[in-house]
Structures are given as C-alpha cells and as structure tokens.
C-alpha cells in the first residue's frame, strides 16, 4: 500500500529565510506523481508544486522547489525567501499514474513564518 510520511508536525521560519519540509513515501509503482499542497486557514487546498516520477529534473515554481530522490523515495519542499503568506499547513501527496488513483496524503506540517 502506498503511504506518505511527513515527520515534521511543525516548522518555523523567519521571514525572508529558507525552510525545507520533508516527505517520504512508500510505493511499488514506478510511475506516479508527487505533490505539495498548501492549506491556509481558509481551508482550501492549494497546489504548490507537482513532480512526475519519470522526470529526473526537480520541479520549481518561483520560490518553491523540490528535491526529489526517487531511489530514496524522498520528496522535500524548499521555500525560499519565506513570506508571511506562506504560513499554512503543507501536505505532501502521492498519486499513482495508472492504478489505485486516489491521492494519498501525509499528516501535514504546520509552517509558521515569523516577522
């Protein structure tokens, strides 16, 4: 069964600094997607970044980038130049490309940004 683990329940970062959120996953599939979602107090899950497992290049979206290590089944999110608006719950998610197409989520990491 596919599982997603986020070992950091809470993280804190100073405004303008860089923070890395960790995520590991377990799967026997070879083709899948990995995602980071942000859930602010408004509750809506917002897609931050997406990585396709067959792509070796790490995905980047402005201040957000990932470190995808397929062999280690690790998928960390780096937020650069942190802003107050980055404060939220961050969820790592996995979705197989073809089979069992439900999305599996980690428990989440609550990120606090200090001014």
Q: Which residues bind another protein (CB under 8 A)?
A: 33, 35, 37, 42-47, 50, 91, 95-98, 100-108
CB of 46 to another protein, least distance (A): 8
Q: Which is nearer to another protein, 106 or 113 (CB)?
A: 106
Q: Which is nearer to another protein, 57 or 115 (CB)?
A: 57
CA 55, CA 12: separation in Å to the nearest integer? 30
CB of 54 to another protein, least distance (A): 13
43, burial (CB in 10 Å: exposed 0-12, middle 13-18, buried 19+): exposed
Q: Which is nearer to another protein, 11 or 103 (CB)?
A: 103
CB of 115 to another protein, least distance (A): 27
Q: Which is nearer to another protein, 19 or 37 (CB)?
A: 37
**3-state secondary structure (DSSP) of residue 34:** strand
* Residue whose C-alpha is closest to residue 79's, from 24, 14, 33, 25: 14
Task: Provide the b/e sequence for 1-13 (b: ≥16 CB within 10 Å).
Answer: ebebebebeebeb
CB of 69 to another protein, least distance (A): 21
């Amino acid at each position: 069964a596919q599982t997603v683990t986020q070992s950091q329940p809470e993280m804190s970062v100073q405004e303008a600094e860089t923070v890395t959120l960790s995520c590991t996953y377990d799967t026997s599939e070879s083709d899948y997607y990995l995602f980071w979602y942000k859930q602010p107090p408004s509750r809506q899950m917002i897609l931050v970044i997406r990585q396709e497992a067959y792509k070796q290049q790490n995905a980047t979206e402005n201040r957000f980038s990932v470190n995808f290590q397929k062999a280690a089944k690790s998928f960390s999110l780096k937020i650069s130049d942190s802003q107050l608006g980055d404060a939220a719950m961050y969820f790592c998610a996995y979705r197989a490309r073809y089979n069992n197409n439900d999305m599996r989520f980690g428990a989440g990491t609550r990120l606090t940004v200090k001014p």
